[in-house]
Structure 1
Amino acid sequence: MSRRTLAGGLAIAAALTFTTLPASATQQSVRFPSAKFPLGAQPVPTKTMKAVTQGIDLYDVKAGTSTDGYTVTVLMPSGRDYGTLPTAEAKVAEVEATGETPSLQKLVRPSVADAPSQTAYMVRVGLWKLDDKKKAEETAKKLKDAGLKVKVDYVGDDGLQTTGPWDAKVVMIDAKTFRGSYAASLGTSVAERETVSAMAKAGGAVVGVNGGFFNIHTAKNLRGEPVGASVVGGRLLSEAVPGRSAVVLKGRSAKITEVKTTVTAAAQDGQKSDVNGVNRAAATDELILYTEEYGAKTPSGGTDAVLDAGGKVVALRTSGAAVAKGTRVLHGNGIAADWVNEHATADSTVKVETKVVDLRTKKALSLTPDLHVIAGGVGLVRNGKVKITAKLDGHDSMNMILRRHPRTLLGLTKNGSLILATIDGRNPGMTVGANFHEAAQFMRWLGAKQAINLDGGGSTAMVVDGKLVNRPSDGAERGVGDALLVLPK
């Protein structure tokens, strides 16, 4: 394995370490693995187990030791910490002009199922042990004073070779003995964010983990909106991003698949229109459906058709008002507002037809009260093999694939048992988190035949019996868009 030494005498490997998992990792029953920990130098993990309730066990898993330290990373003109070789070489010259000794580091982001590998270059200065962060900060200040944009980085976050450590919480739910059910929750509304603890308490859940990604690029008061499909109690509350991964929950069964959603408005006069979205901000010329779960006002600058439970148009109004309980609102602006005004006339009927299709079976899901869907971030394992669909799922960047972050993971064994796991990260010396390849290895090690990455980073949270059992990287539990709940009945 090639190695590059940075100033300070410590070494960083320029490639990921992959482990061939033993046959025991494909076990059919939900038992904690006896094989060596799959990450790093394959240390023997320590674990403690707590029986939560019938069919549910919680494991506290720790492995590895801390040997990583700090370095100073020079930012490229793009603002990123990596760039092309010529760009990086130009930064090397700028650093040398300050009197410091830079290191040019080749960075290879490994390939995934739907995206090739990517090579980039970083420029770094110095490498200090974990307890010498102040020295790294002093060097960073010197470089900033010289006009360079830099940041202090913990090397364990890079995603390259590491010895850890790792701190994970794992809930194993035995399909043979578990007598409860699974559900999704968006809290009190789609638009608002809430903690997993609050949603678990309100739902009476014995276990809860954060769900899919939520939209941080919309208006501040709407940032609870899921990015992708959300079905709660058989009601579609957020449309799918076509083809992206999702977990489908029904009773005490769970399935990882990809879904597509379609919503159509059919007016009484026979005219139909595609509905572009559900419970989100509207773009120009879009027709959007808002349900009573939205929790915010419809956008201004358009027309609202207020529908009762039977689809009767009970009011036409200028948009920008709340969605009353027991109603839905078809909102249009631009061309879509023209459609609403022409076809959703007062006292007429507009039927809203909703369909959620499982793209693996090509069959529509029955939108019954026990059906729930949570959008995933990235598919990790399929049919027992690593299959990372980062590009399809919208997360094929260097930061998402290679770098280590806290992770929330969901897996299914061959017999349908559910595995929920969190790997804490961004805590130097205590836990390094995982990149996508490491997350996939970890779930295979636990026995998952299918696995998916949910939201992570500061959102990663696991609540068991009303108690937060992991340590969120923000220092406190973050409000998130939705949660997966394990209910006692």
Structure 2
Amino acid sequence: MTRRAGRLRTALTVFAAWSALAGGALAGAAPASGTPGFSRIAPGVSYTEFDIPAAKGVAHAHVLSVDLRNPRVSVDLLHPGAVAARSTVSQLADAQGAVAGVNGDFFNITETQHPGVEATGASVGPAVANGHTLKAAVPDGQRFGPALPPGTSTKDVLGVGTDGRALLDSLALDGSVATTEATLPLGGLNQYALPVGSVGAFTADWGQASRVRATCGTDTDRAAPCTSDTYEVTVQDGQVVSAADTPGSGPIAPDTTVLVGRETGAQQLRKLSVGERVEVRHRLVAAASKTPYHFAVGGYPVLRGGRPLAGLDDVTAAVRTAAGVSDGGGRLWLLALDGAPEFRSGLTVAEVAATMKELGSADAFSLDGGGSSTLVAREPGSSTATVRNHPSGGAERPVPNGIGVFSKV
């Protein structure tokens, strides 16, 4: 993992050039990937790096410009094949054949508040991969990461529709559990935390991790104790085949759904009998897009319509990852800051929003940062991705998902 020494270290010159374009960028005209300083990774995909003079010191940014209007280019979720699993961005990119990518959503990284409960590694927000819904969002109070800006939630996503257009949106779970006696609302789908009093569904997409964490904390307090009022029902081919007082673990078969209930949800599941017919239905409903999503990843918005969101943190600086949208959804910008010691002071969330605006983004989205911040891209002629920034932990951190950039040669 190396970075070209001194490349584009004259940040004021680069930023001045982009600043001159900012007025046009707000009207939807982002700098083209052929702008001086960008190097071509693949058709429609270019890379650059530059310094950012910030309030807490100089930060160093690594940026991908992705032309979604190029018919050779697509974007999809990088993930290790299970919601409750992690891998490094470079491994995920190579496994899926991506030419470049960055890390994605915040995730359940630790469980120090709940002794004996293992962290699942599952992400916070909704996730859609290749048009398939993997999971829904945990309650706001159960998220990991910095405080959400006012007016945002764990349901917020950056997505690319089947029309190839990128946008910021919100995806809410709509689901039910229909039994012979009643129809129950579904409170979660492959989530490491379920709303208090709810029933959640776990499918083969979840993986092998224990489902106990889903019954810990509350909607407003992630550190609250795990509830003892739990019940689990296994539904196979639409029929209850087993039940247990506590959530289990291990792989779930493709034709099977495991229902986990807590408090009121547990009481409702106890009414079910082995052999009873149960129909589980779930989908994610978009607040804005009328087009189905090909890809979606969680995080939180920092810029809308060229304006920073109100209440963005302008005090706490850190190494960060972000994504931006310009050209009416036709271009995606992916940014990861460098975690090398000389740049580790990073940016505040407010500075991230300003940086994404300078790049030409009309809308921008914050992804996980700190030791997770990673940007990878292939060198010309290579079949493997190279880490372009220096992860602040000294090596790549395994993450649950990322944004993969694909380009057909």
- TM-score between both structures, scaled by the size of structure 2: 0.74
Q: Is the 1:226–1:238 contact (alpha carbons within 8 Å) kept by the matching residues of 2?
A: no
1:267-346 residue pairs with structure 2 within 5 A?
267-276=179-188, 278-281=190-193, 285-294=197-206, 295-299=208-212, 302-308=230-236, 310-318=237-245, 319-326=247-254, 327-343=256-272, 345-346=273-274
- Measured in 2, the distance between the counterparts of 1:431 and 1:205 equals 27
Give yes or no for the alignment of 1:450 onto 2:363.
Answer: yes
Deviations 1:255-285 (A, max 9, x none): 1123322332121334323324533255764
Match of 2:166, SS?
strand
> Which of residues 335, 349, 353 is equivalent to 1:421?
335
CA 1:440 to 1:419, structure 2 compared with 1: closer, same or farther past 3 Å? same
- Alignment-derived partner of residue 116 in structure 1: none
Instruction: Identify which of 100, 111, 124 aligns with 1:207.
Output: 100
Tell me, yes or no, if structure 1 residue 486 matches structure 2 residue 399.
no
CA distance in 1, matches of 2:126, 2:322: 18
Q: For 1:186 and 1:33, how far apart are their aligned partners in 2?
A: 27
**Cross-structure match for 1:192:** 85
Q: Secondary structure at the match of 1:322?
A: coil
Distance in 1 (alpha carbons) for counterparts of 2:274 and 2:191: 23
1:406–1:57 CA distance, 2 compared to 1 (3 A): same
Deviation at 1:406, TM superposition (A): 1.0
| CA apart distance, 1:482 | 1.6
Measure how far apart 1:467 and its partner are. 0.8
Larger Rg: 1
1:215 and 1:334 map into 2 onto residues whose CA distance is: 22
Identity %: 25
Matching residue of 1:385: 307
Q: Which has the higher contact order (CA 8 A, sep 6+)?
A: 2
Which residue type is aligned with residue 44 of structure 2? G
Shift of 1:29: 4.3
Maintained 8 Å contact 1:405/1:426: no
**Deviation string, structure 1 residues 51-76 (Cα, Å, up to 9, x no partner):** 11111111122355xxxxxxxxxxxx
> What does residue 145 of structure 2 align with?
none
What SS class does the counterpart of residue 173 from structure 1 fall into?
strand
Aligned to 1:95: none
1:224 corresponds, among 121, 125, 137, to 121
Structure 2: how far apart are the matches of 1:457 and 1:333? Answer: 33
Task: Look up the SS of the partner of 1:58 in the other structure.
Answer: strand
Find the counterpart in structure 2 of residue 351 from structure 1: 279
Match in the other structure for 2:172: 260
> Alpha carbons of 1:464 and 1:208: their partners in 2 closer, same or farther (altered >3 Å)?
same
Q: In 2, distance between residues paired with 1:346 and 1:275?
A: 22
Give distance in 1, aligned partners of 2:32 and 2:351: 18
Alignment-mate amino acid for residue 396 of structure 2: E
Deviation at 1:425, TM superposition (A): 4.4
1:166/1:275 CA distance change after superposition, 3 Å:
closer
**Structure 1 residue 54 corresponds to structure 2 residue 54:** no
| Alignment-mate amino acid for residue 379 of structure 1 | P
Q: Counterpart amino acid of 1:280?
A: Y
User: Aligned pair in 2 of structure 1 residues 475, 21: CA closer, same or farther (>3 Å)?
Assistant: same
Question: Shift of the alpha carbon at 1:405?
Answer: 0.9
Contact 1:195 1:478 in 2 (8 A): yes
1:52 and 1:184 map into 2 onto residues whose CA distance is 19
Q: Is the 8 A contact 2:108 2:124 kept in 1?
A: yes
Report deviation, 1:28.
3.4
From 386, 390, 404, give the equivalent of 1:471.
390
Backbone CA RMSD of aligned residues: 3.1
Gaps of 5+ in 1: 1-18, 36-46, 65-158, 391-399
Structure 1 counterpart of 2:322, from 409, 417, 434:
409
In the alignment, structure 2 segments of 5+ residues that lack a partner are: 1-18, 141-151, 216-227, 379-384
Distance 1:440 1:21, change over 3 A: farther
1:179 is aligned to 2:108:
no
Structure 1 residues 437 and 297, CA gap change in structure 2 (3 angstroms): closer
Conserved 8 A contact 2:110-2:118 = no
Matched, 1:372 2:288: no
**Displacement, 1:246?**
1.3
Change (3 A) 1:165 1:178: farther
State the distance in 2 between where 1:34 and 1:285 align.
Answer: 54
One-letter code aligned to 1:184: L
For 1:389 and 1:356, the matched residues in 2 are separated by: 28
Give 1:323 shift.
3.8
**TM-aligned CA distance change 1:414 to 1:182, over 3 Å:** same
Q: Contact 2:211–2:249 (CA<8 Å) still a contact in 1? A: yes
Shift of the alpha carbon at 1:426?
6.6
Q: Residues 321, 34 of structure 1: CA spacing in aligned structure 2 closer, same or farther, 3 A cutoff?
A: closer
Query: Could you tell me which amino acid in structure 2 is paired with residue 359 of structure 1?
Result: A
What is the total number of aligned residue pairs between the two structures?
Answer: 346
- Contact in 2 for aligned 1:413/1:450 (Cα 8 Å): yes
Distance of 1:354 and 1:205 partners within structure 2: 30
